Every structure is written in structure tokens, then in C-alpha cells.
Structure 1
Amino acid sequence: MTQVTGQPRHAPTRRVIDLSDRRALLACRPEDPAVVEEARALKEAALLDFGIRDSVVCSWLYAKCHHHIPTTAVDTAAVVASGDGSCLLLYNPEFFVRIGPSGVRFVLFHEARHLIHRHLYVAEALRTDPLFELAAEVSINHVAMVRLGRTELPTRAVPDGAGGTRREPVGVDPREVHRMYAEDLREQGLAPLPYEEFTATDLTVYGQLRRMRNPPRPSAVCVHLRAGDGTGPAVPMDAETIERVVGQALAEAMRAALRGEGVARDELLDLADRSTGGGDRLRRMWGRMGLAALRGETPRTARVDWWKRWLADTLGSKLSEGERLVYPRKQGAVLLALGHDPVLSRRGRERTKVVLIALDTSGSMPQEVIDWITTLVGRTDGVESHWLSFDGIVMPFVPGERVRGGGGTDFQNVVDYAEGRLAVNGRRFEERPDAVIVVTDGYAPRVTPERPDRWIWLITDGGDDWPERHDPPMACHRVTTGDS
């Protein structure tokens, strides 16, 4: 755990040992076996509470730690992720006895949440930034107090220097850090966020601390975040082991939540909300785990295997009622079962529909995507397709021609061409497209077509799905290239 104080707290010098060496850890034990047994009972009670009422994620995470070792090699507690793929829970029995049952629950929640942070925010620049470490302490302790129903940090007895003892808080008090933050910003003539907004997400805490002229510095960093700085042994944090163990714990919790377990549902929704803004990797991770289903949502943009069926349905919906292409669901289900791609059928009056397909050639567009769109449109009765590639300019072509490209990307040229304002080789596009399909990574200045409802954006893996956030939103979907 970490203290934020005016003066550094000096830890007693101890022999540094390898925290993945179980034999050495077991050799560092209190002399009184009763203390070890009492601490073990407190630890077991805390883990039971996690599974029943506090934290399904923590319950599953600690279930992945096959060795729970009482040892004085650490001051408080730590989870070791060693290079052999195993996880160890280390806890100091004397410390656990001093902080009592509620304190043990708090410390174990704190340690588990640190592993989850490392799983979610994997960027090396963040994990090695001392300010992000402090932001993690603030965020984790805030969540721990809310989730565990606490109004104060746990405390432990320490010598007061006059022959007696005093109670010392364990860890960083998020409210104290907020007070220091608010005072610092007001001295700069800036407006600080209220506490609830300050602690809204993990990255909000980090961003706000970066606004400070003199950010607080932890006087003693959590044992598992030490880098062998002389205050204690460094804790092995094998990235591959963390990814596997925490990923499994989150997946198990998600399955419990989808089965209707309220504690798991509340915890995962809170965790997802608190990681908002963490980037495309996190959004994809939550999407794969089924967050939308947990929220009862059908997202406009989602990374799913059925993007082909989505495109068929969406393309049909862009055509006017009574004369639109439809996806024959019963027939489509049979075709899919037989291994065939779905096709569109016509409903209503016969009229040739115009579809414009624009391929971003500034990067590498997946050939599988291009081939399938060509097949879909080519098989659809009554549809006239027009193709163009684009980067900084637009270049009409016909399927089979070699597509060239390279430079920057400009969506506005595509819009101007589709709407008849831009001439290419002296000719304007004279048709009024019923649908425009754009295959791109999304990275270019944003645009607003005259008819946003007619545009369909297929965003390649790792791209920017800004059309989904457009006002009004445009049909937008991520494509994968591993499905058939």
C-alpha cells in the first residue's frame, strides 16, 4: 500500500529475496504459529466474502493463485505473477492481524485491482509513469471504499515514538489527494473538478493529476510496483501470466453476470465504465466479452463475426420502403447452414438501385472484404454498382482493374464525387446513389454528407469508428477478415 505524506516513511532494512522462491518465502515467518493461523482465517473469510457479496472478479482472480503464502518477506500483501505461468498470493500475517477482517478485505481488493489495472492499461508509458501509479492508487482506493461500504481507509497500530502507539491509515486517501489537487489548481487560477467527477474514471484521475503544478509524491510505493529501489524486494510481474490470469477471471465473472448474478453484473459494468477512454483495445476486449449483451444494448458498431450479414441487412435498409432489397431470413439461415453466403432479394416495384463502393487505398485494404462486397453486389438483382478507390484523390475503376493508391486520405473528395460536385477526368458522377459503402480505416478529417442515412462505413481492424459518433450517426461496423 502507498502513503502520501510530507516526509518519507523509512522502512526497516531487510534482506532482499526472490519473491517467486516459495521455499525462501516460507522461511520468512512469524515465530508465533497462532498469528499465522489467525491471519489465514482472516484471509479465507475475506475471499469468501468476495465470492458472495463484494467482488466476483476478485474471487475468481484469487482462485487462480494456487499458492497462498504467509510470509514476512512483504510488509503487507502482494500477488506475484512469475515467469513459469503461476501466481502466488503473499501476505504478512502480523499485518493482517493488526488491520482486522475489514482491513484484510480492503487490502486484498486493492491488490487484485492493481493486477486488473495492469491487464487493462498495458501501455509501457503508463505503467512506468509514477503519476499513473498514484492515479491507480487513488482510483483503486476510491472504488474499494465504495464497493466494500467503507467511509475510511483501514488503519494499523504503529509506535508513536513516546512508548505508545497510534493508528496509521493504510494506503492513499483519495479524498486527501483530491484536496491537494483542488488546492493546487486554485493556486494556478484553474477550476478543479468536484470529487465525484475527479474519480469518475481511472484515466480522469490521471489526467487531472497531470494538471497539477506540484503533484503529490507517494512516500512508499505498493510492494508490487517497486522496481528494486532498496525499500523492499521487487515483485515479479510477468505480463503474459497477468494477461492470462486476469483475462480468465474477467471472463468467468462475465459468464456469471450473463447468468443473472447481480454482484458480478454491477462490478463489471462499473469496471467497464471506469475504463472508458482506454482506447480501441479495451473497447474490443469488452465487446468480445459480451458487454453489450450485459447492458441490454445492440451497439451500432461492434466487432462480431457476422459483419457480412450486417452489411446485407444494412444495405437493404437504405432503400426506400416498398422498393427495397431485403435479407430473406429463413432462406438465408438455410444458405448459411449449407456454407453459402447470404444474398439479397427484391421487394416492391422494379427499379435499378445505385450503390457506390469507395475503397480507401491509402493503407492496405483486406482483399477478402473487397471480394465479398463485389460478390454481394454482383449477385443482387436490380442493383447497379459503381466503384472508386481513394486516398487524397478519387479514382473510379471497375472490378478486376488494378487499384492504386498511397498518399493521405480525404473523405471530403469522396462526398463531393458521390454528390455530383467533383469531376474526375472531366466527368461528374451523375447518378444519385441509394447507398454509399466506404471501406476505410477511418483516419482522415470527418465529413457530413447531405444524406448521412445513405452512408455505410466498414471500419477495418484498429481503425477509428467516428461515423458511429457522428450527429446524426451513420451506419458503421467493424470488419474482421478471419470469418467466412
Structure 2
Amino acid sequence: MARVTGESRHAAARGVIDLRDRRALLECQVADPAVAEEGRRLKEAALLDFGVKDSVVGSWLYAKCHHQIATAAVDTAAVVAVGDGSCLLLYNPEFFVRIGPSGVRFVLFHEARHLIHRHLYVDEGLRADPVFELAAEVAINHVAMVRLGRTELPAQEVPDGLGGTRREPVGVDPYKVHRQYVADLSEQGLTPLSYRDFVDTDLGVYGELKRMRQPPVPPAVCIHMQLAGAEQGQGAGPGLPMDEETLSSIVDATLSEAMRAALRGEGIAREEMLALADRTAGGGRRLERMWGRMGLAALRGETPRTRRVEWWRRWLSDVLASKLREGERLVYPKKQGAVLLALGHDPMLSRRGAERTKVVVVALDTSGSMPQQVVDWITSLVGRTDGVESHWLSFDGAVMPFVPGERVLGGGGTNFQLVVDYVEGRLEVKGRRFEERADAVIMVTDGYAPKVTPAHPDRWIWLITDGGDDWPERHDPPMACHRVVTGDS
């Protein structure tokens, strides 16, 4: 509910203002211009601190709020996502002045994190649960206090009903909620978690609160909680405009830009993104895929276990197709050429048909521990590619051509150079040299052998098995390389 300009905090409220209506928001101003200016200054200082030392995610997100409106139409602060693809930051300058600089940083951090939280946990049934809403408040405020170096919530002066004032905390206190949780579970004879374990992950907070007989769902203290019922059609109120498509676009872009900063080595971004990823543990396959796309494994310095065989299959198909892209061959049309010569014209070459049959060599390192189903799939991939002639090798300390289905025996040692020499026609095997020109060479190996430099590195594709050395992608020039999780099927 908005307040009439110039009226006190407890004066009669004016009618509801549509939070998408920028003109109405701008017209609903606080009475004192000095307070409005101080609120704006506090907001700008907080956003500057985000970019410098507090929150790369918050800095990027608010950079996308092209309209930042001081208004009395909201009691605290809120970001709204409207249907035209834009986001608006709305804030009440009087509220910002009451809570001071550190309080403003806290509230804006909370608001940014609320949007991230809503985007990450998109299940409508989950978001409609008031216990999940409480869990979100607990998780967000805990992270805000940790990242901003606070030991308690910000507070503001409010009337005490006796003619004086008292300090009242702003928001849900995670420590207080944990104490209530401990008391509830102890009465049930259950073992509660310590505070540190209780707040470890976002969904962990939710799961523990659901163990309570009476989760302490508070009265609406956050604007999101105030308006959640209205948004879900459960009561009167203006509702918080939150266009899901706009929100998804803004938050995806924010997280992607923060991850790029983290991968560039920016310390604050790295710390924040790793912490955010850890807090979403157990959030399901959608979140796993999202973090995988963003490069979380590279940030952690580990091989992504999410790259299952299904992914390397697609990768190999795409890479192989790019190397075997069909061309056309030039031909001399004899009959048409004779006619053209008789008429005094120069004969013309024409393009007709595929350039030639493509040649693919598949070389299996007998020490690579590649399961049979993977070999079978590579066989089917090459076999069903039109215009492709396949040649199969096994190798260790020697090169041994074979036909798929034959038993492959291994010996000792591994020598990549022998494969290079054979494919490039310099090595005889059983009295014969390889006389074809390979368009692609697929090497299936653990990568542990002296490095090699083929004459045409762009034609080589390396599949590195579990625990192997993916040096080919660091080669100069780099070669196509992918790690295969051989335990997957």
C-alpha cells in the first residue's frame, strides 16, 4: 500500500498503485526532497560496494534494472519484472534512511538473491508452499549476513506504542528460526541439526523446517511474502509483477556474466559463484545442467561428471560431421564440351556428385579400458555415415588393424607415434602400408604416452578415457578432445 506524499508512516494509506505503472510510481513521492536525495545516495553507494567488494551477482543484476525509482508506493524495496522485458528497482527513500548504509546494502543484497532464488527453484508447487517461502528468507538472510560481515539483521526505529520508539529488526532472523526449530524437534524427541548444518543448503533449510510440527511461518515482513498470496490469487493486494520470461532472461544473463568473471580469475566472483552452486546442491537435473553449461566444473578445477556418454556421443557426431562435410568434384562433360568446341566456345567444367569417399580411421588403445558398448556405438556411427570408408586399428607398442567384432588383444607400452606413422603412410604393418588419405582419425585412449604432432592435427579427434591425460586439447595447435566417462552407458 502506498502512502500519500507528506503523511506520516501511520497515516491513512492511499489506494493501491499498479507497480508496473512508472508514471504513478514516480508521482508517489516522499514529502521531504532531502530524504529522497539521501535515499538515492545510499542506494548508489550500496550498488557501488556490490561491484567493488560485496557481490558481483548483485552488481550485474542491478545493472540490468534500467529504471531505479524512488517511490512511496512500496514500504521497503523490490525489483519487479514486467512483461515488456524490463526490470524496475523500486525503493522507498524513507526506509533506506531509517536503516542506514549497511542496512541498505543488506536489503538490496536480499532483493537480488530473492530473484536468483526464485529463478533457481522454479517449481510452482514448491514456491506456493509458505514453508518454502520461509526457508528462502532464512537461507537468503543467512548468506547476506555472511557475505556482508554482519552478525545480526539491520534494524529501524518504530513506535513502541508508549510514545517512544524501539529498534525492530528488518526481515526474518535465521538464528531465531533455528532456535524455534530446535525447540520444536526436541519436543518431538527428534534430533535437530546444528545451525551450521541447518543452513548448509537452501533445500536443506526447507527439508528441516518441514520436520517441525508448526513451522514458524511469520506475518508478512518481506514484500515478497506480503504479496505472495495476492500473486497466487489467494487474497486481495496488488501482487508483485514478476513476468517469468523476463525474470529468466535477466537472471540467466546475470549468472552467465558473473561466471565469466569468475573464470577470468576475479576473486569475489569466484567465491560467490562457488558458494551459490554449493547452496543449490540437490536441486535436481535442471540445476546440474545449468551449472554444467556455465562451466562450474572448470571453475572448480575438476572434470565434470555430468558429461555422460550421451553428451560425448553428440559431441563426436558433431565434430566428425564437421570434418567429413561433403563437397563436390569438378568433372569435364565430354559431350557438352565437344558441342561447345564446335560452336567456338571454351568448354566448361561442371560440379557433380560427392567429392570422394571419406576415410575415417578409428584407433583403440588396448590400455584405454573402453567398454564394448562404446566401441559398438562408434562402429555404428561410422557405419551409418554416407560415403565413409572406415579403417580400425588397435594399438599399444604396435599397430594392429582389425575388423569390428574381432577380438582385440593388447600387449605392453603405448606409442602414439606408431599410429601417426601408419596413418600417414610411413609404417608397414604385415608388409602393407596405409595408402588412403585419412579425413578423420578417432583416437580412443587414456592419453598416457609421449605426445605427438600429426601432419594434419585438425583431422584428429581424441576421446580420453577415465582418469586420462587430455593433453591434445592443450597441444599447439589444439586438437579436438573430449573426456569420456566410461562407467556410463
Task: Give yes or no for TM over 0.5.
Answer: yes
Q: Secondary structure at the match of 2:68?
A: strand
In the alignment, which residue of structure 2 is the partner of 1:69? 69
Task: Give the deviation of 1:300 after TM superposition.
Answer: 3.3
Distance 1:231 1:71 in 2: 22
Distance 1:341 1:112 in 2: 55
Task: Give the deviation of 1:384 after TM superposition.
Answer: 3.6
1:212 corresponds to which letter in structure 2? M
| Deviation sequence 1:266-323 (CA, Å, 0-9, x none) | 00000000000000000000000010111111123327997149879xxxxxxxxxxx
Q: Does structure 2 conserve the Cα–Cα contact (< 8 Å) formed by 1:301 and 1:476?
A: no
In the alignment, which residue of structure 2 is the partner of 1:110? 110
Q: Secondary structure at the match of 1:475?
A: coil
Q: Normalising by structure 1, report the TM-score.
A: 0.67
Q: Secondary structure at the match of 1:372?
A: helix
Task: Give the deviation of 1:224 after TM superposition.
Answer: 3.1
Distance 2:113 2:46 in 1: 15
Task: Give the deviation of 1:336 after TM superposition.
Answer: 5.7
2:389 maps to 1:380: no
| Deviation sequence 1:18-40 (CA, Å, 0-9, x none) | 10100111111111111110000
Q: Which has the larger radius of gyration?
A: 2
| Deviation sequence 1:357-406 (CA, Å, 0-9, x none) | 799xxxxxxxx9995275599753425449xxxxxxxxxxxxxxxxxxxx
Distance 1:202 1:71 in 2: 32
Distance 1:211 1:160 in 2: 35
2:362 maps to 1:344: yes
Q: Does structure 1 conserve the Cα–Cα contact (< 8 Å) formed by 2:30 and 2:36?
A: yes
In the alignment, which residue of structure 2 is the partner of 1:134? 134
Within 5 Å, give how 1:206-217 maps onto structure 2. 206-217=206-217
In the alignment, which residue of structure 2 is the partner of 1:48? 48
In the alignment, which residue of structure 2 is the partner of 1:235? 240
2:22 corresponds to which letter in structure 1? R
Correspondent of 2:372 among 352, 355, 361: 355
User: Do the aligned partners of residues 234 and 358 (structure 1) sit closer, same or farther apart at CA in structure 2, a change above 3 Å counting?
Assistant: farther
2:261 maps to 1:256: yes
User: Do the aligned partners of residues 373 and 154 (structure 1) sit closer, same or farther apart at CA in structure 2, a change above 3 Å counting?
Assistant: farther
Distance 2:268 2:209 in 1: 31
Gaps of 5+ in 2: 1-9, 326-357, 394-401, 407-464, 467-483
Q: Does structure 1 conserve the Cα–Cα contact (< 8 Å) formed by 2:379 and 2:404?
A: no
Distance 2:359 2:140 in 1: 48
Task: Give the deviation of 1:15 after TM superposition.
Answer: 1.7
User: Do the aligned partners of residues 297 and 348 (structure 1) sit closer, same or farther apart at CA in structure 2, a change above 3 Å counting?
Assistant: closer
2:372 corresponds to which letter in structure 1? V
Distance 1:108 1:72 in 2: 17
Distance 2:283 2:359 in 1: 36
Q: Secondary structure at the match of 2:26?
A: helix
Moved beyond 4 Å, runs of 4+: 10-14, 229-232, 303-306, 309-312, 333-343, 346-349, 356-359, 368-371, 373-379
Distance 1:88 1:52 in 2: 22
Distance 2:294 2:223 in 1: 31
Q: Secondary structure at the match of 1:380?
A: strand
Within 5 Å, give how 1:10-89 maps onto structure 2. 13-89=13-89
Distance 2:284 2:83 in 1: 28
2:272 maps to 1:271: no
Distance 1:341 1:193 in 2: 62
Distance 2:360 2:193 in 1: 52
User: Do the aligned partners of residues 189 and 201 (structure 1) sit closer, same or farther apart at CA in structure 2, a change above 3 Å counting?
Assistant: same
Distance 1:78 1:296 in 2: 37
2:290 maps to 1:285: yes
Task: Give the deviation of 1:344 after TM superposition.
Answer: 2.0
Distance 1:11 1:383 in 2: 88
Task: Give the deviation of 1:162 after TM superposition.
Answer: 1.1
Distance 1:279 1:373 in 2: 35
In the alignment, which residue of structure 2 is the partner of 1:468? none
Task: Give the deviation of 1:345 after TM superposition.
Answer: 1.9
Distance 1:192 1:162 in 2: 39
1:372 corresponds to which letter in structure 2? L
Q: Does structure 1 conserve the Cα–Cα contact (< 8 Å) formed by 2:360 and 2:391?
A: no
In the alignment, which residue of structure 1 is the partner of 2:189? 189
Task: Give the deviation of 1:218 after TM superposition.
Answer: 1.5
User: Do the aligned partners of residues 215 and 157 (structure 1) sit closer, same or farther apart at CA in structure 2, a change above 3 Å counting?
Assistant: same
Q: Does structure 1 conserve the Cα–Cα contact (< 8 Å) formed by 2:70 and 2:91?
A: yes
1:261 corresponds to which letter in structure 2? E
Q: Normalising by structure 2, report the TM-score.
A: 0.66
Q: Which moved more, 1:377-386 or 1:189-198?
A: 377-386
Distance 2:280 2:297 in 1: 15
Distance 1:369 1:114 in 2: 46
Distance 1:341 1:119 in 2: 48
2:306 corresponds to which letter in structure 1? T
Q: Does structure 1 conserve the Cα–Cα contact (< 8 Å) formed by 2:170 and 2:221?
A: no
In the alignment, which residue of structure 2 is the partner of 1:363? none
Task: Give the deviation of 1:233 after TM superposition.
Answer: 2.7
1:475 corresponds to which letter in structure 2? T
| Deviation sequence 1:108-163 (CA, Å, 0-9, x none) | 00011010011100111111111100000000000000000000100000001111
Distance 2:118 2:241 in 1: 13
Distance 1:103 1:255 in 2: 29
Gaps of 5+ in 1: 1-9, 313-332, 360-367, 387-452, 455-472, 479-484
Q: Does structure 1 conserve the Cα–Cα contact (< 8 Å) formed by 2:54 and 2:148?
A: yes
Q: Secondary structure at the match of 2:372?
A: strand
User: Do the aligned partners of residues 240 and 31 (structure 1) sit closer, same or farther apart at CA in structure 2, a change above 3 Å counting?
Assistant: same
Q: Does structure 2 conserve the Cα–Cα contact (< 8 Å) formed by 1:115 and 1:246?
A: yes
1:344 corresponds to which letter in structure 2? V
Q: Secondary structure at the match of 1:344?
A: strand
